[in-house]
Amino acid sequence: MTGPSVPAADWWRQAVVYQVYPRSFADANGDGTGDLVGITHRIPHLVDLGVDAVWLSPFYPSALADGGYDVDDHRDVDPKIGTLAEFDAMVAALHAAGIKLIVDIVPNHSSDRHPWFRAALAAGPGSPERDRYVFRHSDDGPPTDWTASFGGPTWEPVGDGWWYLHMFAPEQPDWNWDHPDVREDHERTLRFWADRGVDGFRIDVAHYLTKDLSGPLPTQAEIEAGTVPEGTHPFNDRDDVHEVYRAWRKVFDEYDPPRMAVAEAVVPTHRRPRYASADGLGQAFTFDLLEADFDAAQFRAVVEQNLALARAAGSTSTWVLSNHDQVRHTSRYALPTGTSLPAWLLSDGTTPRADEARGLRRARAATAFLLALPGSAYLYQGEELGLPEVADLPGVVLQDPTWIRSLGTTKGRDGCRVPLPWNTDGPSFGFGPEDGRPAHLPQPPWFGRFSVQAQAGDPRSTLAFYRTALARRRELVGGEDLDPLDSPDGVVAFARPGGWVCATNFTTRAVPLPAGEVVLCSSGDPSGTGVTELAGGTTVWLRRAD
């Protein structure tokens, strides 16, 4: 949210941020991969949608061992995606359209093609070059039995009796954050992008980075049992990681307005405020809503808890239903409660059967709920189209390292990363030019039905709903308070400052509307014209004299 009443430094506190996964957004040069020029061309879509900021997932040079989160050079653009000049042009065009830009920073690891990692391998054991990463000697198998995020051990041998640590894929060696070069280099990276006009940073796995492997080290079983004391874990959510963020805050504050940051910190809820503190990153993601069932009690509890946590940190909460790591929320809500999503993906989306109409109805209701909450709303590209997960991608096209590293037992995240459909037809549904190469992940034949073109002229479409919701939010949003309202069982209702009321019916039966003039409805016509009751699986916003 921006406007005369919001100090420039606080623009992010109640912003609507739209996540662009650049390789799958828009392909201007026709090589099958999305690019920066493609993003620039599609800025009118973002303006029509009404977002305040874009969060751009990694666009840095990368071999794509992990979708770009394996970074070869943090201060450049992947030549397959564009150039620094095209980046500058994109920033200028976004800013001219009144949209801010947040870029992804990946500080826990580099790629194994990073010049410093190559130098570390070449220089050999005990060298200063190796000291920038986390190497351990062991003649007897991996130094610990820890399991990496995509499966397999966290240690990779380099052939001389030494192993390097990687919390993710082997192509993502972890930095040694005790090394001053690593700290200085990351501050240089932050300034590099801030100097180019970037307004903020999304910090990847902010809970890792610092490590203390001086031992004795816990086993995987001990880690999973949660017996390691908080704050002194060998690699996770250590108290000393905040020294890094306090130093970064000084860098952010060199700019006017200060650059913002949002932590991806997957930590116990009570540890999250540390990441969101004003002398640290300033804001932290909460994924609690994303993990909740479509259930009034769960949604209510998540909101209460997270608003309290954000207040404790002096920050605002973040709200997320979909991102590039998750099964799209339209599809999640289409499945029976308790469905194992990996098992559903492995069945190519056949078992259990998805009730798509129910999924979309609930997704729209949950989105309207989220957009009425105090704090920042993070939307993921394609959710404004109600795009379902592409659950039936065959193994041969999958790019997520999870697929290979789980030996074909877990499909991973490609189903939410399929390039967007812009047009009803054409070789890539308008993702790339007519004569371009096919999209880098195959789009299903039904994609055109969800395209921007198919929905743009339909006043009841999901796209029309998002546009209306974001426009209304801009008119209604003011102070950061939320007052819970009494409501029937299965309904959550609350008031925001200025006479804005939101009510969500999580049941399947209609209930009476709260008092006020309906200004948004998540089902049917988004304007809410003629709505006389709060239907099941529906959110309404109302305006009333306060």
Nearer to ligand NOJ, 325 or 355 (CB): 325
In 197-244, the DSSP E strands lie at 200-203
Look up residue 505 and give its two tokens: 């019916």
Minimum CB separation of residue 268 from ligand NOJ in Å reads 18
Distance from C-alpha of 265 to C-alpha of 268, rounded to nearest angstrom: 9
Question: Token pair 């994924």 is at which residue?
Answer: 287
- The alpha-carbon radius of gyration of the chain (Å, integer) is 23
Determine contact, residues 359/418, Cβ cutoff 8 Å. Answer: no
Q: Which residues bind ligand NOJ (CB under 6 A)?
A: 66-67, 69, 106, 168, 204-205, 264, 324-325
- Residue 455: enclosing H or E segment and its boundaries? helix 452-456
CB of 422 to ligand NOJ, least distance (A): 24
DSSP structure class, residue 39 = H
Residues involved in catalysis: 204, 254
Closer CB to ligand NOJ, 190 or 511, in the complex: 190
Q: How far is the CB of 150 from ligand NOJ (least distance, A)?
A: 8
- What letter would DSSP give residue 180? H
CA distance 58 to 102: 11
H or E element at residue 164: strand 162-165
Between 69 and 494, name the residue whose CB sits nearer to ligand NOJ: 69
**Rounded CA gap, 210 and 228, in Å?**
16
Q: How far apart are CA 100 and CA 89, in angstroms?
A: 13
Query: Backbone phi, then psi, for 302, in 5-degree steps?
Result: -60, -45
Residue 358, token pair as written in the block? 């129910």
Record the tokens describing residue 399, joined without a space: 């790019």
Place of tokens 């001086």: 214
Q: How many helices (H) and strands (E) does the chain have?
A: 16, 18
Q: Which is nearer to ligand NOJ, 244 or 368 (CB)?
A: 244
What residues contact 308, with CB distance under 8 A and at least 6 apart? none
- Min CB(232)–ligand NOJ separation in Å: 23
User: Least distance (Å) from ligand NOJ to the CB of residue 251?
Assistant: 21
Q: Kindly state the smallest distance separating residue 76's Cβ from ligand NOJ, in Å.
A: 18
Measured from the CB atom, is 384 or 400 closer to ligand NOJ? 400
CB 465 within 8 Å of CB 526? yes
Beta carbon of residue 175, minimum distance to ligand NOJ (angstroms, whole number): 12
Query: Which residue's CB is nearer to ligand NOJ, number 69 or number 447?
Result: 69
Q: Shortest Cβ distance from residue 285 to ligand NOJ (Å)?
A: 10
DSSP per-residue letters across 16-66? EEEEE-GGGT--SSSSSS--HHHHHHTHHHHHHHT-SEEEEPP-SS---TT
Q: Which residue is nearest to ligand NOJ (CB)?
A: 69
What the block records as the tokens of 209 is 């980075």
CA angle 369, 373, 377 (to 5 degrees): 90
> Is residue 305 within 8 Å of residue 269, measured between CB atoms?
yes
Number of CB atoms found within 10 A of residue 515's CB: 10
Q: Where are the alpha helices (DSSP H) in 287-372?
A: 288-291, 296-313, 329-332, 341-346, 356-371
71 or 307: CB nearest ligand NOJ: 71
Nearest of 144, 267, 166 to residue 215 by alpha carbon: 144
Task: Pick the closer one to ligand NOJ by CB: 181 or 325.
Answer: 325
Helix (H) or strand (E) holding 84: helix 84-96
Cβ at position 21, least distance to ligand NOJ in Å: 9
**Pairwise CA distance, residues 233 & 213, whole Å:** 9
